[in-house]
Amino acid sequence: MGRLRRAGILADATNMVLSGFGCVPYRGYFSKKSATETAAELQRQGLDVYVTGVTAYSTLGWSSDPLLSTMLTQDGTYLAGLVFHELAHQRVYVHSDSAFTRRFAVAVETTGVRKWLRATGDIRGLRRYEAERRRKTEFLVLVSLTRDQLRHVYDQNGTSEQKRAAKTAAIERLRTRYRQMRDRRWGGYRGYDAWFDAPIDNAKLAATSVYSDRVPAFLRLFDLCSGDYPRFYASVQRLGALDKVCRAEALSGADACYGASQS
């Protein structure tokens, strides 16, 4: 299965309406040919388009989630995280707020993997996992910084040609910052080289950011719920029932667990 995301001169993705799921900033395909043909049409309309494969997907409880060969290409920690992430979508899915839903799933994945590694006594694996999380966080900070810079560019007066030139310069600065971080802070770790070696545009930046922003707020809420998953799920469900603006504000300002105590 593949996924297609689109974005115009704006830094944010444009949404598509999918029956049963609401507005989402992507569209899934089981046919690579169909995905690339749609991407080509959107590019002719002047949109940035990012087409990529996905390792797994959730049916949101409509049926049993599939076990795919792509899920078995890495180690057990990766597989555990993937399972925790996809199963989280069966617990909470907020229509027309894909970012909220996916960041919640990342929080479940992160806390689940930590608990699993501790329960199995795999301290070395936990250290590796936390080191990779730190690298991913630092990578996502670079992406977020670049998106902020691009929003500033697009909000300024100027011609489309000037804005596209500024966009190209911002993306090159992103690549330069990454290489410096890789060679200095990361000691030459090249796990993200492929991402930077491939073309980068608004759609790719938006697709990457949807899994990162506000994940710390979900992790903080999990701690406020004392690591109790039923209370955490109940809290997220209550947040999901709010309108989108209030939902984001309530999550950012949460100072207590909203879930009922478990007797």
Long-range CB contacts (within 8 A, 24+) of 180-183: 181/138, 181/142
Q: Which residue has the higher pLDDT, 219 or 262?
A: 219
Q: Are 25 and 15 in contact (CB under 8 A)?
A: yes
- Please write the tens of the pLDDT for every residue from 1-55: 444 444 444 444 455 544 444 555 677 788 888 888 888 998 888 888 888 887 8
- pLDDT confidence of residue 119: 97
Q: Give pTM, 2 decimals.
A: 0.79
Q: What is the rounded radius of gyration, in angstroms, for the C-alpha atoms of the chain?
A: 19
Predicted pLDDT of residue 10 = 44
The answer to whether residue 83 scores a pLDDT higher than 80 is yes
Q: Which two tokens stand for residue 227?
A: 């690591």
CA angle 137, 61, 75 (to 5 degrees): 40
Average pLDDT in the 171-187 region? Answer: 98
Give the model confidence (pLDDT) of 213-222 as tens digits.
Answer: 789 999 999 9
CB 85 within 8 A of CB 108: yes
Confidence at residue 211, expressed as pLDDT on a 0 to 100 scale = 67
pLDDT in tens, 114-136: 999 999 999 999 999 999 999 99
What's the CA gap between 74 and 64, in Å, rounded?
22
**pLDDT band for position 57 (cuts 50, 70, 90):** confident
Structure tokens at 162: 């000037």
Per-position DSSP letters for 217-261, written without gaps between them? HHHHHHHHTTT-HHHHHHHHHHHHTS-HHHHHHHHHH--S--SPP
